[in-house]
Structures are given as C-alpha cells and as structure tokens.
Structure 1
C-alpha cells in the first residue's frame, strides 16, 4: 500500500507517511520535533524527484521518504491527506494503542483499570497490604504497571 501511494518502505529513514520524523528522532515525540506533511511539500518533492537522475532520485527518496506514484497524476490526489492507517499493523496488532499509551502517555480509561483491579482484588485476600489492587494504589498505577494486570485479568 505504501509503495502504491508514493511512499518508501516503513523500514526507510523517514518511516511515517503523516509527518517528517526520521528514525534518528524516533524517541522524540512532539510537534517540535517533526512537521505534518502538506500537499504543497509533497507535490514539490515529487516534481523534483521526476526531474532528477536515478542516483539523485535515490537520495531524495532516502531524505524525504517519497517517490513517484501513478496516483500523482490525478488532479485531486493528496497523498498526505488521503492515506489512512494500516488496519493490520495499527489496530489489529494493537500497535496504535501501545504507541498512544506508552509513547504519547495517553492513559486508558481509569474506569477500565479500576474495574479490572477490583475484580481481581475480590478474588484475593483483601488484607494483603502489598497488593497493587488496593483502592489507594489504583490512582498511582502507571500504564506500564497496568499492562500485566490487564493480562492477568483477561486470563481469569
């Protein structure tokens, strides 16, 4: 799908087709580190790519993560806006959820964590003071700590 839309492989240096982030900046999340791809920048890079030699095309592809696609000939085609997330990798495998939780620090609903923790605590001895499922510690659970709790709750 990426190659059809005019992007290089996800293993390339610029791996995202929505922004300009490079692999060297993968740990740095935030709008100050990368810019959203725009229609004008995309079209100008593609027109530059078309006029260059094969060696220079390779350099442009490596730097910008773009290459020519036949879809670029359509007058209404905007690759920066008309391409959506890959369903298998981002939704089915849970990569988007993990990225949102651990990279962007967008917490899962507290009610889900609260319910799962209390369901587990009903099954265990409530006098155990070291248990992470006590009511006082639920607000202090980070997403990384909640992940094993969710897995344990799903097993039961």
Structure 2
C-alpha cells in the first residue's frame, strides 16, 4: 500500500491561510517519511478561533517561509501519489487555494482531484462520530489533535487499517 497522508492547519477561515502542514509517506504499508513545517500565512494574519484550535500564533510563523518557499519540499512528497486526508475536501481545498494564491499549478502535482478520505471510510464503517479524535480513540492510535504531523500520521494509520 503506497500513499501520502496530509493535514493542514489554517490561520483564518480562508483556505489559502495555511500555517502548518504535516505529510506522512507510506510505501508498502510502512511509514517511510514524515515532514512537518510551520508556514507564514498571508500577512501573517491569524483569527482568534483558529489560534484557539491549534495554538499556532503569529509570533510562531513571523520568521517562517511563506507557502511558496516550502513548496519544493511539499511537491516532492505529493507528486504523483495517492493522497489521503481525514477530511479530504478541507485539506484538498487548502492545498489548491494556497497554490493558486502563490501562482502555483495544482495540475503539475499529477495527483487526483479527489483524494481518499478516512472520515468517509470510517463513517461508512459505522463510526459515529467519524471525526479524527474518535476514530483514533477507537483504534488506539496516538493523537495530538490539531498538530498537523500528528493528524497526518494518525490519518495514515487509519488508512492502513481500513
């Protein structure tokens, strides 16, 4: 089983405000690479609600690169891969809109317009709720929720169990 799990955290309600990303690469059913970075969102602007969720603040990203500066590392991990996220429509939208904001082209990643979604998979299995925290609790998967790398790793482990 070969795939890449991804999770974004955003600074505001706007999808192009990525402030952190976690990416976990799985080859032959084994995690072979993990990548995490903070990202300076546009204008380093944050909404209070988002800070409350993930704990990332403007001071944490004021000296970080913007998304386009991190993109080479992100691109090499996503290119041509099957992509998995727990709420795929959210994370896919963040990636697409952030790339567009920086003049980058989603098509050049050679990934699907639809990703695998562990939330949908576990909802179909009867999990109620099917949020990441509950799915991880039910499967004894360690989770530091809303920390992008922990969320991506948990998503990868859930996908391996599907």
Mark yes or no: TM-score above 0.5. no
Give the TM-score taking structure 2 as reference length. 0.22
Which protein has the larger Cα radius of gyration, Structure 1 or Structure 2? 1
**Bigger share in strand:** 2
Which is bigger in relative contact order (C-alpha 8 A, separation at least 6)? 2
Give the TM-score taking structure 1 as reference length. 0.23
